[in-house]
Structure 1
C-alpha cells in the first residue's frame, strides 16, 4: 500500500491521520493562554480568528473576551469537542475546514492562534501577503525558528520584506515545549503582528512591491548595485545610494524598511513601467 503524505510538509502520514494533518501541538497552560489573549488586546469590539482551534483551550479564553470568535479546525474529533465546549457561547462559530481553504473575514479581525508548525509559512502568507484584508493585529504561537526568521534584521525572503511594508512583526518570547501536548520537537515562540498606522508602501501597490522584493532578494547577500541591476541606470543607482546613506558593500538583505520605501518610491517615479519587475508568484 502506498504511503500518503501531508500536502504541505510532504511528510509521511501515520495511520489514522487525516490527509491534511499538520502536526498540531495543543497548549494546556492556562496562564500562557491568558497571556496570549492579553497580548492581542482583545475586546468585545473585536472579531477573533483562531486557526487550528484543537480542543478549544484557547477558544474558551477568546469567547470570554471577544465580541465574535471564528474557530477553524479540520479534525472531526476536535470539532465535536469544540462544539460541545462552546455550545453556550452564541458569539462563537466553529468552522470545520482546512485552514488553507478558508476565506478570511470580510470585516476587521484579529488573529489569535497556536498554528500547526508544518504549515507556518503558508498560513503567514495567507494572512499577510495581501494588505487589503481586514487583519488588524495578531498573536501567533509558532515554531521558534520561523518567528526568528520573520523578525530578523537581515531579510532573506521577499515575502517577509513585503509584509513589513504594511505590518510590524515582533518576536515576543520563547515558549517551553513542556506547555504543549504532545511536546513539539522544536522550540516555540510568540509572534506579535500589528498593522502599521501609516504603510510604507501604499496598499494599491502591494503586487508591484512584491515583484520588486522578489527580484531584489533573489540573493540577499548581493550588494545593492548587483541586486537592483536591470531596474535602475548607473546614474539613478548613484543618486539612490546617496539618498539611502549606506555603505558600498551593504548586502541587499540588510536594508531597512525605510530604505525599501525610498527604493520603491524612486522606482515608481523615475523608472519606466516596463522595467518594473513583476512577481512570478500567484497572489
Structure 2
C-alpha cells in the first residue's frame, strides 16, 4: 500500500489515518498565548471552540475568560492531560474527535485556536464554507503562507473569495517557528476573522456566487474580459467595466469584494438563471 509523506512532519501516513494526526505544533510562549486570548476579546457570554487543543496551553487561559469552552483534540495522549488540567473547570468540555468529523455548535460561537498545519484549509472550509452557521469571529494561528493567501489583495481561489463576501479576514502578525514545540519548518501567523455586519453577498445567494467565482477564477491571471466571457455578452462586460471603474487589462484576481458584488448583481439581473455557472463537484480525498 502506497503511503503519503506528510508535508510538515516527514512521517508516512497510512491510508485512512486522520490527516490531523500530524502537523500539530504546540505553542509554549506564555506571553504570546495571552496576546492571542486578549486579541480574541473573550467574555463570559462567549462559547469558544478550540480546534487542536494539544496539552491545553490555550484551553486553561480560555476557560478563565469564556462562558463555555469546547476543546477538540484527536491525539489520545493529549486527552488525559487536557482532562487533568480542566478537571476543576465545569465550563470546559474536552471533545476527543477528528476535527474534520466535528459538528459545529448550534449556538453562536467564537474560535480561538492554534490549528494543525496538516489540515489548515479544511479547517477554514469547515468554519467558513457555510455562512449560515453560528461562527461569529475568531483568532487563529496557522501556517504563514496560508495566512498570506487567505488575506491577500489578489484573490486566486474561489473559496477564499466566497469567504470574504461574508467575513473580514485580516493578517495580524507573523510568529516565529521558535515559539513552537516541535518547531515547524515554516513560520506561522495570526489572522483575525469577523463576520461582516452586512455581507457583500446575502447568505441565500452563497452557492450561486460560488459558481460564479469558480468559473471566473479558473485562470486568475486572465483579464476580466476573458474571465467573464461565457457568462456575459461583450456589451454587458463593457457595462460592467464602466460600473466597476475597471480597465480592459485588469486581472480578474485583482477585483475588490465590492466589485465582485457588482459583478454578481449584474449576473442576477441580466443573465438567465439556467445560464449561471454551477459549482464543480469536489474530488474525493482532497484535504488542502
**Interval containing the TM-score (normalised by the shorter chain):** over 0.9
Alignment check: 8 A CA contact 2:49 2:111 kept: yes
Residue 242 of structure 2 is matched in structure 1 by: 242
Residue equivalent to 1:190 = 190
In the superposition, relative to structure 1, how do residues 280 and 25 fare at CA in structure 2: closer, same or farther (>3 Å)?
same
**TM-score normalized with structure 1 length:** 0.95
SS of 2:165's partner is coil
1:183-237 deviation digits (Å, cap 9, x = unpaired)? 1100100010010000000001111111110100001110111101111111111
**Cα distance in 2 between the residues matched to 1:123 and 1:145:** 15
Native 8 Å contact 1:4 1:12 kept in 2: no
Tell whether the 8 Å contact from 2:5 to 2:13 is kept in structure 1 after alignment. Answer: no
TM-score by length of structure 2 reads 0.93
Which segment is superposed worse, 226-235 or 48-57?
226-235
Matched, 1:13 2:17: no
Per-residue CA distance 1:7-35 (angstroms, 9 max, x = gap): 998964379xx654131000011111111
Q: Does 1:150 align with 2:134?
A: no
Q: How far apart are residue 5 of structure 1 and its match?
A: 3.8
* Aligned equivalents of 1:229, 1:173: Cα separation in 2: 39
Q: What are the equivalent positions in structure 2 for 1:264-283 lying under 5 Å apart?
A: 264-282=264-282
Task: Map Cα deviations across residues 23-77 of structure 1 (whole Å, 9 max, x no partner).
Answer: 1000011111111111111110100000000000000011000000000000001
CA distance in 2, matches of 1:211, 1:47: 33
Residue 233 of structure 2 corresponds to 233
Q: Which runs of structure 2 are paired with 1:93-172 in the superposition (5 Å)?
A: 93-172=93-172
Q: Secondary structure at the match of 2:277?
A: coil
Paired residue for 2:86? 86
Q: Which runs of 5+ in 1 are unaligned?
A: none
Q: Distance in 1 between matches of 2:9 and 2:276?
A: 35
Q: 1:59 to 1:251 in 2, by over 3 A?
A: same
Task: Give the match's secondary structure for 1:185.
Answer: coil
- Per-residue CA shift, 1:159-193, capped at 9, x if unaligned? 11000000001000000111100111001000100
Q: Which runs of 4+ in 1 moved over 3 A?
A: 2-12
- For residues 14 and 267 of structure 1, what CA distance do their matches in structure 2 show? 45
Q: In the TM superposition, what whole-angstrom CA distance separates every residue of 1:230-253 from its partner, at most 9, and x where no partner exists? A: 111111111111000011100000
SS at match of 2:133: coil
CA distance in 2, matches of 1:148, 1:4: 30
Structure 2 counterpart of 1:34: 34
Report if aligned partners of 1:221, 1:251 keep a CA contact under 8 Å in 2. yes
Determine the C-alpha separation between the residues in 2 that align with 1:105 and 1:212. 29
1:44-55 to structure 2, matched below 5 A, reads 44-55=44-55
Change (3 A) 1:157 1:19: closer
Aligned to 2:286: none
Structure 2 alignment gaps of length 5 or more: 284-288
